[in-house]
Amino acid sequence: MFFELRQYRTRPGKREEWVEFMEGEIIPFQVSKGMVVVGSFVGEEEEDLYVWIRRFESEEEREQLYEAVYESDHWKDVLSPKVGTLIDRERIVVTRIEPTPKSVIR
DSSP string, 15-61: HHHHHHHIIIIIHHHHHHTT-EEEEEEE-SS-TTEEEEEEEES-HHH
Q: What is the mean pLDDT of the chain?
A: 97
User: Mean pLDDT over residues 38-61, rounded?
Assistant: 98
The pLDDT value recorded for residue 106 is 78
Q: Give the DSSP H or E segment for 42.
A: strand 36-42
Separation between Cα atoms, residue 57 and residue 65, nearest integer Å: 11
* pLDDT tens-digit series, residues 89-98: 999 999 999 9
pLDDT band with cut points at 50, 70 and 90 for residue 86: very high
Separation between Cα atoms, residue 59 and residue 34, nearest integer Å: 14
Q: Is the pTM of this model over 0.85?
A: yes
The DSSP call for residue 101 is: T
Q: Give the DSSP H or E segment for 40.
A: strand 36-42
User: Mean pLDDT over residues 16-20, rounded?
Assistant: 98
Give residue limits of the domains in the chain. Answer: 2-97
User: Mean pLDDT over residues 47-55, rounded?
Assistant: 98
Tell me which CATH code domain 2-97 carries: 3.30.70.100
